[in-house]
Amino acid sequence: MNLHVDMEHHRHVLIVRLSGELDHHTADHVRMQLDEAIQRRQTEHLVLSLKDLDFMDSSGLGVILGRYKFIKQKGGKMAVCDVKPQVYRLLDMSGLFKIMPIYENEGTALSGLEVVS
């Protein structure tokens, strides 16, 4: 598996940092990890940092959209930050940025979601 998932809980925000490749080989594993972390902790909002994500296919896009719907159903917000050009293009073509904000880095994402301490 060529993907690493790092999670940090900041107040009621789950910050998830993905590195490597989010594709059909790794999507189910990531989906399960995120769902478990969201349900286990008092997570209201989700920030997805893609700074070190080198590749993503449509399976990865499905993971992101599914977590967006899950967080939204809980009344929370989700944002994406630190997106590399090759991943940005897929997210842009999918229309993701019409429903979810994108930020330059984690700090601006937390500020944008209005959850900074």
pLDDT band at 117 (very low <50, low <70, confident <90, very high): very low
pTM of the model: 0.92
CA-closest candidate to residue 63, choices 78, 75, 51, 52: 78
Q: Tokens for 62, please give them.
A: 């499905």
- Can you give the residue range of the structural domain that contains 75? 3-111
**pLDDT digit string (tens) for 20-71?**
999 999 999 999 999 999 998 789 999 999 999 999 999 999 999 999 999 9
pLDDT at 61: 96
Residue found under tokens 């977590």: 67
In a domain, 116, yes or no: no
Nearest to 57 by CA among 21, 32, 93, 82: 21
Total structural domains within the chain: 1
Residue 2 has pLDDT above 60, yes or no: yes
Q: Is residue 82 part of a domain?
A: yes
Structural domain includes residue 58: yes
CA distance 101 to 53: 18
CATH number of the domain that 75 lies in? 3.30.750.24
